[in-house]
Amino acid sequence: MTSTKVQQTSEKTSEWWAQGVRFECQGSGQCCVSHGEFGFVWMTLEDRRRMAAALKMTTSAFTRKYCLMTDGLYRLKDGANEACVFLKEKRCTAYKGRPTQCRTWPFWPEVMNAKTWKTEVARFCPGVGRGRVHSAQEIEAALAEQRRSEEILVSGG
């Protein structure tokens, strides 16, 4: 999606987040621990390549060491206590190369409705309501990136 298109969309949005959403990561590591349906970190080929490069590994070695396949899709392995394998002492040890869904959190299509945001996201993510306001335009860009990644994932990429 081009920035022009994002701008056009944000001018029209009547979503609950039209005035922006205050959010700043507090480094809790909460989003890196399994929360029911938000439990897996899905990996497109692009995600695996980026993460492998950040860890100075080949993509195939990275995939063998850190990924599993579930329902025909790659995801990161779990570490201790249902946390992501890269979470150590509440910190992502592969932050620079983190996958798309970690970059776009918490602005995912499936949680950006008022009810889910309030009852699920705001309950476990201490970054909600903190820090700077993310504009509707920024949120739409994150949503578009996440949607694109999900489409690539299910199409086998």
Among 6, 43, 67, 87, binds ligand SF4 (CB under 6 A): 87
Please, which residues have CB within 8 angstroms of residue 54's CB and are 6 or more apart in sequence?
Answer: 94, 96, 97
CB of 124 to ligand SF4, least distance (A): 14
**From CA 137, how far away is CA 6, in angstroms rounded?**
6
Please, which residues have CB within 8 angstroms of residue 6's CB and are 6 or more apart in sequence?
Answer: 137, 140, 141, 144
Among 67, 102, 128, 136, binds ligand SF4 (CB under 6 A): 102
Torsion of CA 74, 76, 77, 83, to 10 degrees: -140
Q: Are 44 and 100 in contact (CB under 8 A)?
A: yes
Q: Which listed range, 59-67, 86-94, 135-143, 145-153, lies at the site for ligand SF4 (CB under 6 A)?
A: 86-94
Tokens of 80: 């201790």
**Rule CB under 6 A: is residue 139 a binding residue for ligand SF4?**
no
Among 52, 67, 84, 112, binds ligand SF4 (CB under 6 A): 84
**Rule CB under 6 A: is residue 43 a binding residue for ligand SF4?**
no
Question: Contacts with ligand SF4: how many residues (CB under 6 A)?
Answer: 10
Binding site for ligand SF4 (CB under 6 A): 32, 41, 84, 86-87, 92, 94, 98-99, 102
